[in-house]
A and B are shown apart, each in its own frame.
Chain A
């Protein structure tokens, strides 16, 4: 009798409070250091002042300043535009080349596939900072100019990172060099998931490689394309390290590579040159707009790529 009761007690589902104990450490840390600061940053964007003691509510004052202040609005508009360009270059190249590389790597009859796969992913293991410094040296015409001229490639010796015309595009391409591995591997995983019989039927029906790609592979990996787009979007709207390494936090030359990430750092954390006093409220306003843009951007992509399956 006693034994039966004990068994019953043990096999009964534990209460919610019991399970909360397991969840609590993760929940606490996640809430304190991520969820709460994220939401509270939105509140801070409505205040001015440097500390909690001196903080003053100014409603949308920071946002107004961001859009109407003479220099600040130019900086913000510029940073926003550069961020969009930076993101678009990354997205087009990473999705485009990523799919191409993935198709090649998943072609079963190809040789050296695993070698290529390993190579493509190598830069992803580097810190963005290391990549940035390395390319800064490689693209320095003083350093490589003579050697390139000797190879008949003198036209490559330009101040790519120093010219307002080319700096942003070149920095974006460096970022692509770094991150190609991730979209490629995501597409590889998606392509490997395509049922073999689908592809066999296509082969028997006499479909060309291009037809198989556009009619079978591409539609089936659509959710992953969406995922890559979202990842690129979220990461690039916060890019900072690459500009820090190649062009300093000021987005040199002449703010041509200033992104939202660097502007956010200068206004909200380090303080804009030459005063160097941070304005957390203004920084929080920049962050809040970025946050809203990300939410607005992510949701339709999610719907578009997985709503219909």
Chain B
């Protein structure tokens, strides 16, 4: 009986492995094709599209770095994403602190108003947003993106952080009040240090949508010097269209930062991305 049970279990495992291996192949094969062909020359990618290059050729990468604005695009994206994440964290942790400690009806109303943004797709508002950005004379600058990303990131930030701060034992802040600490000092010296894991969740959750956003750069920015990485990729795609090996080098370069970060801290990434949904 037990034996047939474990046999059944084993068969199930074989079936499970089969499914996962098929899916892993479906996921990894395109990435493999992307990588190997970015090291081939323009014509050799047609001769043997799925095989390893006869000789690894780095010229696609050096051309992209030398002859294009790739580094400018990269720098722009880096600045925008970093500043946006920083502001999301500062603003939502301040707000979450207040919303967790201020126990009145108004606080609840504000909380629900703010987290409603988690469900609302901001793209729908693009026409009005475009006019606001125009009115602020931010069009064609990288600064146009930051307020939008901060607004996008705040709802989930407040949601995660308020829940987290509520679970911090009240005795800690009460003791600090007894010692004469101000509310703000409690925030900087007790709440923020204890909230660090949740802060990193908020940052990771927002990192992918900020870094990978195409929509807002596309509608705000036309000027080469202000383009973000992804918007730049669309331009280079057009420019190198007849030379796929270079296109693939561009795609690889643009995917690498987040991919490496993910591989280095996969667990935090997965927790971060699923945090909002599972708790809610």
Which residues of the partner chain B approach A261 to less than 8 Å between Cβ atoms? 123
Q: Are the CB atoms of B208 and A125 closer together than 8 Å?
A: yes
Which residues of the partner chain A approach B31 to less than 8 Å between Cβ atoms? 122
Instruction: Report the bound CA distance from A272 to B223 in whole Å.
Output: 22
Q: Is B75 an interface residue (CB 8 A)?
A: no
CB distance from B37 to the nearest CB of A (A): 8
Which residues of the partner chain A approach B17 to less than 8 Å between Cβ atoms? 110-112
Q: Is A77 an interface residue (CB 8 A)?
A: no
Instruction: Report the bound CA distance from A122 to B34 in whole Å.
Output: 14
Q: Is B160 an interface residue (CB 8 A)?
A: no
Which residues of the partner chain B approach A186 to less than 8 Å between Cβ atoms? 274, 277-278
One of B45-53, B58-66, B194-202 contacting the partner = B45-53
Tell me whether A110 and B121 are in contact in the complex, defined as CB-CB below 8 angstroms, given that A19-B102, A104-B20, A137-B248 are known contacts: no
Q: Are the CB atoms of B117 and A34 closer together than 8 Å?
A: yes
CB distance from A284 to the nearest CB of B (A): 5
Tell me whether A22 and B95 are in contact in the complex, defined as CB-CB below 8 angstroms, given that A127-B212, A231-B277 are known contacts: yes
One of A63-71, A83-91, A286-294 contacting the partner = A286-294
Q: Are the CB atoms of A138 and B33 closer together than 8 Å?
A: yes
A11 CB contact (under 8 Å) in B33, B155, B178: B178
Q: Is A156 an interface residue (CB 8 A)?
A: no
Find residues 184-199 in chain A having any chain B CB closer than 8 Å to their own CB.
185-186, 188-190, 193
What is the 8 Å Cβ interface bit string for chain A, positions 139-153, against chain B (1 contact, 0 not)? 000011001000000
Instruction: Report the bound CA distance from A241 to B237 in whole Å.
Output: 14
Q: Is B169 an interface residue (CB 8 A)?
A: no
Q: Are the CB atoms of A241 and B215 closer together than 8 Å?
A: yes
Instruction: Report the bound CA distance from A269 to B90 in whole Å.
Output: 32
Q: Is B101 an interface residue (CB 8 A)?
A: yes
What is the 8 Å Cβ interface bit string for chain A, positions 205-236, against chain B (1 contact, 0 not)? 00001000000000000001001101100110
Closest chain B residue to A7 by CB distance? B178
Closest chain B residue to A28 by CB distance? B91
Residue among B48, B101, B123, B266 having the largest count of chain A Cβ atoms under 10 Å: B123
Instruction: Report the bound CA distance from A185 to B205 in whole Å.
Output: 13
What is the 8 Å Cβ interface bit string for chain B, positions 163-191, against chain A (1 contact, 0 not)? 00000000000100110100100010000
Q: Is A80 an interface residue (CB 8 A)?
A: no
Q: Is A130 an interface residue (CB 8 A)?
A: yes
Find residues 221-280 in chain B having any chain A CB closer than 8 Å to their own CB.
230, 233-234, 237, 244, 247-248, 251, 254-255, 258-259, 261-263, 266, 269-270, 273-274, 277-278, 280
Tell me whether A38 and B122 are in contact in the complex, defined as CB-CB below 8 angstroms, given that A26-B154, A33-B151, A112-B17 are known contacts: yes
Which residues of the partner chain B approach A291 to less than 8 Å between Cβ atoms? 124
Which residues of the partner chain B approach A276 to less than 8 Å between Cβ atoms? none
Q: Is A274 an interface residue (CB 8 A)?
A: no
Instruction: Report the bound CA distance from A44 to B183 in whole Å.
Output: 43
B259 CB contact (under 8 Å) in A112, A122, A188, A235: A122
Which residues of the partner chain A approach B55 to less than 8 Å between Cβ atoms? none
Which residues of the partner chain A approach B91 to less than 8 Å between Cβ atoms? 25-26, 29
Which residues of the partner chain A approach B16 to less than 8 Å between Cβ atoms? 104, 107, 110
Find residues 70-116 in chain B having any chain A CB closer than 8 Å to their own CB.
90-92, 94-95, 97-99, 101-102, 104, 106-107, 110, 113-114, 116
Q: Is B19 an interface residue (CB 8 A)?
A: yes
Q: Are the CB atoms of B255 and A280 closer together than 8 Å?
A: no
Tell me whether A104 and B214 are in contact in the complex, defined as CB-CB below 8 angstroms, given that A38-B125, A110-B13, A185-B273 are known contacts: no
What would 15 more interface pairs be, CB under 8 Å, given A16-B107, A127-B233, A133-B251? A19-B102, A26-B95, A26-B154, A30-B114, A40-B128, A124-B208, A126-B212, A127-B255, A129-B233, A177-B27, A231-B277, A234-B121, A241-B214, A268-B127, A287-B125
Interface CB pairs A-B, < 8 A, 19? A11-B178, A19-B99, A19-B107, A20-B98, A27-B114, A33-B129, A33-B132, A37-B126, A37-B129, A37-B132, A41-B127, A101-B23, A117-B270, A126-B259, A188-B274, A230-B119, A234-B119, A269-B130, A298-B119
Q: A-side interface residues toward B, CB under 8 Å?
A: 6-7, 10-11, 14, 16, 18-23, 25-27, 29-30, 32-38, 40-41, 44, 51-52, 97, 100-101, 104, 107, 109-112, 115-130, 133-135, 137-138, 143-144, 147, 177, 180-182, 185-186, 188-190, 193, 209, 224, 227-228, 230-231, 234-235, 237-238, 240-241, 244, 261, 264-265, 268-269, 280, 283-284, 287-288, 290-291, 294, 298
